[in-house]
Amino acid sequence: MTTERLYYNDCYLQEFAAQVVDRADDGRRVYLDRTAFYPTSGGQPFDLGTIGGIAVKEIVDEEDRIAHVLEAPLAKTEVEGRIDWSRRFDHMQQHTGQHLLSAVLVELYDITTVSFHMGAVTSTIDVATPSLDPKRLERVEERSAQIVWEARPVTISYEDSSADLGLRKASARTGTLRIVAIDSLDRSACGGTHVRSTSEIGPILLRKLEKIRGNTRVEFVCGMRAIKQARQDYRTLAEISRIVSVPFEDTPALVQAQVDKAKALEKNLARVAAELAQREGRELYAAAEPDAAGVRRATEHGPIDEVMRARAQAFASGSKAVFLAISENPPSVLLAASSDSGIHAGDRVKAAVTAAGGRGGGNQAIAQGSVPAEKLEAVIKDVLG
């Protein structure tokens, strides 16, 4: 038995009486003789609400029938259905807004819509153009606003597919088509729910543009979503403006200047840190006592980074010098040796870490290796010889 879709003729029906004609999943999936619940279809998500006082979880379009998936089993046969109206009306605003936008894109620039997706926060249409100039986007937004405040009727009619219907997009369906029309602007074959006047769409805001497989994805919000989004954008900008202490219009230039400044400072800081590390290396060398063979040694603990490398190289630039850096986390060693020290840093580190199951190597002057934590002590002993 085909489910009668009450929303086809009355998108504003919020409550209805119906009979349960079939059920599955112990009464958690019910079929009614008639329903005002919209199932996920054509880019528009399903309705929520209650049936016989039980919350609806999902509405599924099974072609002839509509399945109502419920949170708990339903035993009754005569039921009352209630649509979550704020959710549905929001969907009607986004969906009708999409018809309007797609029609305006054709009217102004002959750009067709390929697909539509309604998300929980924003909606998108993919349009058949590799790019969309921001100026054109503004024109589309302004033209759409104009049609909204002209309060043009949005009407539903049923017409045969064999007639010349003048649709924006040809329909693949045959037989009787449900035509949704915006007065003097658009005619589309559509089974969705729509508001009755363009004025009920409310504000339409166009937002992000994205390139998607040769098309352009246009993000948009309508109605209360547009108001909430604009409010959120205002708050974000106000917060940035407060942090940087300049008026809104000056924030882009100031933020750019701050980012450039931070980058320059970072670069300078790295240079100063390297210079300081070299000085420390030379001072360590000067302070080290030569052993019986005249070799000066130093061992440092800490992260093995650019600063440590600079310190090690500066130390080993002195004659008869050996510098070892040890890092506990991650467990690793760095060895630097002067050319007259009699030590080949690369050979020594490679042998020690390989024996310990680690990895590493380098050249005569400097080498680095990492080892499993429990082998670090043994490697240090090996490297020091």
What is the smallest separation between the CB atom of 190 and Zn ion, expressed in angstroms?
A: 3
Kindly state the smallest distance separating residue 225's Cβ from Zn ion, in Å: 17
252 cis-preceded (ω within 30 degrees of 0): no
Residue 187 near residue 57, CB atoms below 8 Å: no
Q: Tell me if 256 sits within 8 A of 290, measured CB to CB.
A: no
List the x/- string, 135-174, binding to Zn ion by CB under 5 A: ----------------------------------------
> CB nearest Zn ion: which residue?
190
Nearer to Zn ion by Cβ, of 40 and 241: the residue is: 40
Q: How far is the CB of 171 from Zn ion (least distance, A)?
A: 12
Q: How far is the CB of 103 from Zn ion (least distance, A)?
A: 11
DSSP secondary structure letters along 272-336: HHHHHHHHHHHHHHHHSPP-TTS-EEEEEES--SHHHHHHHHHHTTSSSEEEEEEETTTTEEEEE
Nearest residue (CB) to Zn ion, 47 versus 300: 47
| Nearest-angstrom CA–CA distance, 112 and 371 | 61
CB of 95 to Zn ion, least distance (A): 5
Question: Which pair of structure tokens corresponds to residue 221?
Answer: 């919000």
> Which tokens sit at 179?
């035509």
Least gap, CB of 160 to Zn ion (angstroms): 19
Which of residues 221 and 314 has its CB atom nearest to Zn ion in the complex? 221
Nearest CA-CA partner of 209 in 124, 269, 320: 124
Kind and range of the H or E run holding 142 = helix 134-149
Q: What DSSP character marks residue 41?
A: B
CB 98 within 8 A of CB 115: no
The residue type at 173: R
Query: Based on CB atoms, which residue is closest to Zn ion, 112 or 364?
Result: 112
Query: Least distance (Å) from Zn ion to the CB of residue 153?
Result: 15
152-174 burial string, b = 16+ CB within 10 Å, else e? Answer: bebeeeeeeeeeebebbeeeeee
Between 97 and 203, name the residue whose CB sits nearer to Zn ion. Answer: 97
**CB closer to Zn ion out of 101 and 316:** 101
| Shortest distance in whole angstroms from residue 91 CB to Zn ion | 10
Closest CB to Zn ion among residues 190, 371: 190
Binding to Zn ion, residues 177-216 (CB under 5 A) = 190, 192
DSSP 9: T
Question: How far is residue 256's CA from residue 227's CA, in Å, rounded to a whole number?
Answer: 29
Total residues contacting Zn ion by CB under 5 A comes to: 2
- Please, which of residues 4-23 interact with Zn ion by CB under 5 A? none
The secondary structure of 183-209 as a DSSP string is TTTEEEE--S---SBGGGG--EEEEEE
Q: How far is the CB of 226 from Zn ion (least distance, A)?
A: 19
45 touching Zn ion, by CB under 5 A: no
- Residue numbers of the site for Zn ion (CB under 5 A)? 190, 192
